[in-house]
Amino acid sequence: MIGLGYTLPAIISVIVVCVLEWAVLRTGLFRQPAYWISMVIVFGFQILVDGWLTKLSAPIVIYNEDHTSGIRFPWDIPVEDFLFGWALVTAVLLLWVKQRPDREGGR
């Protein structure tokens, strides 16, 4: 339950993505209502998919409990997964928004 292997990197990934936006990319994504509405939708689907992947009765992904906080919510989803998922999806969205659409020649 020390959380060094998953909890800590998951928190760091969120910080890295925020710093990437505020210090480097400056896309303004976090000020867009479309982004936050999308994240609510993604969050809803993550609960369904991740809930299935992590359910303790028949898990697809098995976590070493020494490296997580041990907090699983909702269902059996390790809370760290939400940080991990947020960082993954947000990082890709930031790079996507940073570029112009393909039809305008991209960047």
Partner 1 sequence: MERWQYLLILGGCLLVTLPIEIFGDGVYRQPLRLLRALTPVLIVFLVWDAIAISLDIWHYNPRYVSGINVPFMPLEELLFFVVIPLCGLLTYSAVSTTLDILRNWRHRTADRSRR
By the criterion CB under 8 A, which residues form the site for partner 1? 5-6, 9, 13, 32-35, 37-38, 41-42, 45, 49, 52-53, 58-64, 67, 85, 88-89, 91-93, 95-96, 98-103, 106-107
CA distances for 26 relative to 20, 29, 38, 51, 91, angstroms: 8, 8, 19, 33, 12
Nearest CB to partner 1, comparing residues 13 and 21: 13
Task: Please choose, from the candidates 10, 6, 82, the residue with its C-alpha nearest in 3D space to the C-alpha of residue 46.
Answer: 82
Nearest CB to partner 1, comparing residues 13 and 72: 13
**Which residues, including other chains, have CB under 8 Å from residue 61's CB and lie 6 or more apart?**
53, 54
Reported residue count of the chain is 107
Nearest CB to partner 1, comparing residues 67 and 72: 67
CB of 34 vs partner 1, minimal distance in Å: 4
Using CB atoms within 10 A of its CB, is residue 9 exposed (0-12), middle (13-18) or buried (19+)? middle
CB of 82 vs partner 1, minimal distance in Å: 13
CB of 19 vs partner 1, minimal distance in Å: 14
Nearest CB to partner 1, comparing residues 45 and 74: 45
